[in-house]
Amino acid sequence: MFKAIIFDLDGTLLNTLEDIADSMNEALIKFGYPSVPLEKYKLFVGDGVDTFIKRVTGKPQIDKIEMEEIKKVYKEIYNRRWNLKTKPYPNILKTLQTLNEKGIKMNVLSNKPDDFTKLCVRHYFPDIKFEYIIGERKGFPIKPDPFYALEIASKLGISPEKFVYFGDTNTDMQTALNASMYPVGVLWGFRDEEELKSNGAKELISDPVEMLKFF
């Protein structure tokens, strides 16, 4: 019987794609790069800001100074428009409420910067109890490294095998497997069934209410 959950954030709990894309496109134009079509952002997000910038600029070996400048501007723009178009996916809120009522220990683990991760969760889910909300922190490994997933399990005193990990990308499925958690792919997010299955998803769900069957 599962006792706890780790959720990814972007593409799992929240549809953040348009605000992310609009913010990054504004930053790219400032630095002389072309804007990127919205659909392409589905493949570019999910692996931390540094990798994100390398993908949107098309420069895997981008100069570190330039990357830091783009990152700074992007964060400034996103900070003022992060909630213009972002919204929870249908049925997410009522599912989280039911899981709270069942006493399931819920957590959020994202490769989004830690401050934005906490901001988004607390804004969109103010009445939902989460044990830990963790994003990308300087000097610490990001997903698919299992560092934070295992730290959450340790702090809660719950075996990793008792966790269901819900996510929408290859990175999420790999994180779950690396932490010995149960990987479940969500099909309403940014990636497709093939990617999730090929990266170890044990099950796939197409509606958030299906999360309840694990508890």
* pLDDT tens digits along 89-105: 999 999 999 999 999 99
Q: Which residue has the tokens 């479940």?
A: 184
User: Quick one: pLDDT at residue 200?
Assistant: 98
User: Quick one: pLDDT at residue 110?
Assistant: 98
Query: What is the pLDDT averaged over residues 34-49?
Result: 95
User: Quick one: pLDDT at residue 58?
Assistant: 96
Q: Where are the alpha helices (DSSP H) in 31-169?
A: 38-44, 49-57, 64-81, 92-101, 114-124, 147-156
Identify the residue with better confidence: 1 or 102: 102
| CB-CB neighbours of 102 under 10 Å | 9
Query: What is the pLDDT averaged over residues 11-30?
Result: 98
pLDDT digit string, tens, across residues 43-79: 999 999 999 999 999 999 999 999 999 999 999 999 9
Q: What is the second-level CATH architecture of the domain 17-81?
A: Orthogonal Bundle (1.10)
**Peptide bond between residue 144 and the one before it cis (omega within 30 degrees of 0):** yes
Q: How confident is the model at residue 32 (pLDDT cuts 50, 70, 90)?
A: very high
| CB-CB neighbours of 213 under 10 Å | 8
Res. 1: pLDDT tops 90: no
Query: What is the pLDDT averaged over residues 182-197?
Result: 98
User: Quick one: pLDDT at residue 155?
Assistant: 98
Q: For the domain bounded by 4-15+86-214, which CATH number is listed?
A: 3.40.50.1000
Per-domain residue ranges of the chain: 4-15+86-214, 17-81
User: Quick one: pLDDT at residue 28?
Assistant: 98
Question: In the chain, what is the straight-line distance between the N-terminal and C-terminal CA atoms, in Å?
Answer: 7
pLDDT digit string, tens, across residues 125-183: 999 999 999 999 999 999 999 999 999 999 999 999 999 999 999 999 999 999 999 99
User: Quick one: pLDDT at residue 109?
Assistant: 99
Residue 131 · residue 105 · CB < 8 Å: yes
User: Quick one: pLDDT at residue 112?
Assistant: 95
